[in-house]
Every structure is written in C-alpha cells, then in structure tokens.
Structure 1
Amino acid sequence: MVFCLLFTKNEQDDLTQDEKKALKILSNVYDKLTEKEIEKIINRKTLAEVEYVKKT
C-alpha cells in the first residue's frame, strides 16, 4: 500500500478533481513497479517505508 497524500480534515477540504486525477495517474505508475524497483526507490529515500505497529 502506498500513501501519496495524507492530511487531516481540519487542515484541508476534500481533494480537488485535479488532485484526484493526479493521484490516479501516480497510483497507476506505482502499481506497475516491480519489487526491486520499489526497493531502489526506498533506498534512494525518494519513498519512505512506513511500518504500522498496532498497540496492544
């Protein structure tokens, strides 16, 4: 799962149509990446891997 844009509702209204369109294009690009390509991007610090740890 790739998060492209995160914001709290008190900081921004809903996405504009242009933002939705751009995020759909970006998601299609990410969807076509191989695991090795993703690893390279993470290693270059272009993307950051975020780990979710559920509190127990």
Structure 2
Amino acid sequence: MKTCHYCRRDYDETNAVDAAHHTEPVACNARPTCRCQGRPGCYPCGDSFCYCSEH
C-alpha cells in the first residue's frame, strides 16, 4: 500500500487501475487555469476551485 500525495488515501500501487487513478493526470479542459489541470483522477477538484466532468 502507498499513500497518495494528492488525496492522502492508501492505494494498492500494484493494481494498475488504482495506480492510474492516483498517479496519471486526467485531461481537464474546463479552463486553461483550472487547479486540477495535470492532476490525477483522485484529485478533489469538486471541493476545490473548479468542477470538471473528469472529476
């Protein structure tokens, strides 16, 4: 298990789906200055400054 840098939750880094959700960036094109741009799927965008369909 590894603790995610972004959401602070533990995830199984040997599980490809979990690892991707916590490490690979999603394509947020809501605004050029979105706080979640370049962040992984687990990033709490909905509780941040923007809401995008990827989060």
TM-score (norm: length of structure 1): 0.29
* Bigger Rg over Cα: 1
Greater helix share, structure number:
1
TM-score (norm: length of structure 2): 0.29
Higher relative contact order (CA 8 A, sep 6+): 2
